[in-house]
Amino acid sequence: MAVALRPLSYALGAEVLGIDLTRPMSESSFGEIYRAFLDHGILLIRGQKITREQHIEFSRRFGELDRHEALPRDRHPQYPELLMVTNVPQADGSPSNSRYTGQLWHSDMSFTLVPSLGSLLRAAKVPPVGGDTMFANMYAAYEALSAGMQKLIADLHGIHRPERKNAGVDPAWEQENRRLNPPVAQPVVRTHPETGRKALYIGEKVKSFEGMTQEESRPLIDYLIRHATRPQFLYRHQWQPDDIVIWDNRCTMHVALGDYDPAQRRHMERTTVLGTPCGHVAAEAAVH
């Protein structure tokens, strides 16, 4: 079966048409899907009424799954391979811990030593309007830099922290998160282990470059993020229930816009495919 594809934007992404994840899929069809994933950075599969087990099972075809030890509070108690991204309040009525997940430009698990290969996010409940996610093509962003800038950043490492856009909301969680996830230095220019292409690897969890102060690093970090998030490098996804969006964390970054009424429910579940080891624990002296 030749998998049919429809481009999602000029910058990146493709919709995969005519597949049904409740049915068995041959190795050759999956091979075409994986090829499309490498070529387009993001895949969208609409209308998939799948169970949690089917979500996990399909995700495993991409590689070994993260059991989310780095984010223990956000995983499903019975399915550690599923990370909840939800604003549905907890059983005791307190706000969900993951209601701000993803609201900074980032690549999943970049703050760990095994950053993710890719993520598969399933939309279970979406608000009537908004709650969109934007994605950036980090190959295109890297390639559009001048030779001088490419040379300047070639050997830099960004220090990635596990922070979310909820500073001050839950100090106990923040403390636990910091303890579980010490700052990790990642190359700013990363060679994709499968395609061999260079991509920018930066985001809003980076507050400094290794060996430099925050004050020195800030202008260049700000420039690189502003550059990478120019509209021509982006795709903006408007979710429908039963959408599955799959992204390659090694050559894209994304942000949850939070552009919706918090009284409306938004419930997403994510599997995270483990990548290859990358980066090192940041030298303490460089962490300001």
279: left (phi over 0), alpha (psi -120 to 50) or beta: left
Structure tokens at 192: 């994709």
Q: Which of 32, 66, 108, 210 binds ligand OGA (CB under 6 A)?
A: 108
Q: Which of the choices ligand OGA, Mn ion, none does residue 268 contact, using the CB cut-off of 5 to 8 A by kind?
A: ligand OGA
Q: Are 264 and 128 in contact (CB under 8 A)?
A: yes
The rounded distance, in Å, linking the Cα atoms of 27 and 10 is: 29
CB 221 within 8 A of CB 206: yes
Q: Return the range that interacts with ligand OGA (CB under 6 A); candidates 32-40, 58-66, 100-108, 193-201.
A: 100-108
Look at strands 267-274 and 157-160 and give their pairing: unpaired
Question: Does 102 contact ligand OGA by CB under 6 A?
Answer: yes
Q: Which listed option, ligand OGA, Mn ion, none, makes contact with residue 256 (CB within 5 to 8 Å by class)? A: ligand OGA
Tell me which of ligand OGA, Mn ion, none is bound by residue 85, counting a contact when its beta carbon lies within the kind-specific cut-off of 5 to 8 angstroms. Answer: ligand OGA
Compute the least distance from the CB of residue 249 to Mn ion, in Å: 8
269 vs 20, 85, 124, 184, 244, CA distance in Å? 18, 6, 7, 26, 10
For ligand OGA, give the closer residue by CB, 8 or 268: 268
Nearer to ligand OGA, 121 or 278 (CB): 121
262: DSSP letter: T
| Letter string b/e over residues 188-219, b meaning 16 or more CB atoms within 10 A of that residue's CB | bbbebeeeeebbbbbbbbbbbbbebeeeebee
* Residue span 98-127 as binding mask against Mn ion, x where in contact by CB under 5 A, dash where not: ----x-----x-------------------
Is 163 a binding residue for Mn ion by CB under 5 A? The answer is no
- Subset of 63-92 contacting ligand OGA (CB under 6 A): 85
* Active site residues per annotation: 106, 108, 254, 270
Pick 139 or 239: Cβ nearer ligand OGA: 239
List 112, 119, 208, 252, residue binding ligand OGA (CB under 6 A): 119
The 127-166 site mask, x for binding ligand OGA (CB under 6 A), equals ------x---------------------------------
**DSSP-assigned beta bridge partners for residue 281:** 184
User: What's the min distance (Å) between Cβ of 85 and ligand OGA?
Assistant: 4
Could you tell me how many residues make up the chain?
A: 288
* Residue 133 contact, options ligand OGA, Mn ion, none, Cβ 5-8 Å cut-off depending on partner type: ligand OGA
The residues, ordered by sequence, that sit 6+ positions from 240 with a Cβ below 8 Å of its Cβ are 46, 123, 126
Q: Which is nearer to ligand OGA, 138 or 145 (CB)?
A: 138
- Which of these, 205, 193, 189, lies nearest to 143 by C-alpha position? 189
Cα 15 from Cα 46, distance rounded (Å):
8
CB of 70 closer than 8 Å to CB of 162: yes
CB of 65 to Mn ion, least distance (A): 15
Residue 145 or 206 with smaller CB distance to Mn ion = 206
> What are the residues binding Mn ion (CB under 5 A)?
102, 108
> What are the residues binding ligand OGA (CB under 6 A)?
85, 101-102, 108, 119, 121, 133, 254, 256, 268, 270
